[in-house]
Amino acid sequence: MALIDDIKFDLSPKNGTLGGAAIYFFIVLTVFIIVPYAVYSFVSGSLSGAGGALFGDADLRNGVWDWISNMMKYAIPLVLLAIPIGFYRAGSYVRIPFKIIFAIYLGSWLWVASHGGVFSMTVHDTNIMGAISSISVSIDVRYVVYVMMLICFAMVFLAFSEFGGNREKYMKALEKKKDTMSKRKARRLSG
């Protein structure tokens, strides 16, 4: 078979799994949307309810919520890309471009979500300890973000190695599935 025939064969919806798509979808949804929202809600509720002067500040809370909501909003393509990655099994030609796009977008998302690795926050009119009227904090984690982006870059190559390592197993699984289907069809026709 030619490469184009293999790709057309792998692209068939009969060769995918809905269970795998659902599992990948819920994992990525949990990691990039549900967990950040839950952490924000927990921290916001805990610090505001405990009378915390710092997180009780509406400007700070709104700024953090804007950052978290942007992170979740920009993570929606990652959640959507998880569906075809999970649907097509490891060893399928069709899975490779989705994994590459996922890795590239994840690296971009990390850069945007972390503001290039420098977090700056200013709180005005907090009256902390009676004398300080505003606080400005910057956290520089650029090198951590650079390492994470290198890992995303490595994920591009991982898509090819995953394909090469699983292609034979994938083809055997499809052959087994094809044999089972043909046996079922033969039983229906004979009975």
Q: What is the pLDDT along the chain (191 residues), one digit of tens a residue?
A: 577 888 888 888 888 889 999 999 999 999 999 999 998 888 777 666 555 555 555 666 777 788 888 889 999 999 999 999 999 988 899 999 999 999 999 999 999 888 888 877 766 655 555 666 677 778 888 999 999 999 999 999 999 999 999 989 988 888 888 888 888 888 888 86
- Give the structural domain span for 109: 3-113+155-190
The pLDDT, as a whole number, for residue 171 is 87
Q: Tell me, yes or no, whether 17 lies in a domain.
A: yes
The pLDDT, as a whole number, for residue 138 is 80
Distance from C-alpha of 6 to C-alpha of 87, rounded to nearest angstrom: 17
The pLDDT, as a whole number, for residue 30 is 96
Q: Tell me, yes or no, whether 103 lies in a domain.
A: yes
Which residues does 91 contact at the CB level (< 8 Å), separation at least 6?
162, 163, 165, 166, 167, 168, 169, 170, 171
Q: Tell me, yes or no, whether 118 lies in a domain.
A: no
Q: Tell me, yes or no, whether 45 lies in a domain.
A: yes
- DSSP annotation of 117 reads G
Q: Tell me, yes or no, whether 123 lies in a domain.
A: no
Furthest-apart CA atoms within the chain: distance in Å: 90
The pLDDT, as a whole number, for residue 32 is 93
Q: Tell me, yes or no, whether 88 lies in a domain.
A: yes
> Residue 142 carries which side chain, given as an amino acid letter?
R
The helix (run of H) or strand (run of E) holding residue 119 is strand 118-128
Please report, for residues 61, 94, 137, 179, the alpha-carbon distance to residue 8 in angstroms, rounded to integers and kept in the order given. 51, 9, 54, 20
- Please give the tally of structural domains in the chain: 1
Q: What is the pTM of this model?
A: 0.79
Closest-CA residue to 149 (of 117, 187, 126, 124): 117
The pLDDT, as a whole number, for residue 70 is 85
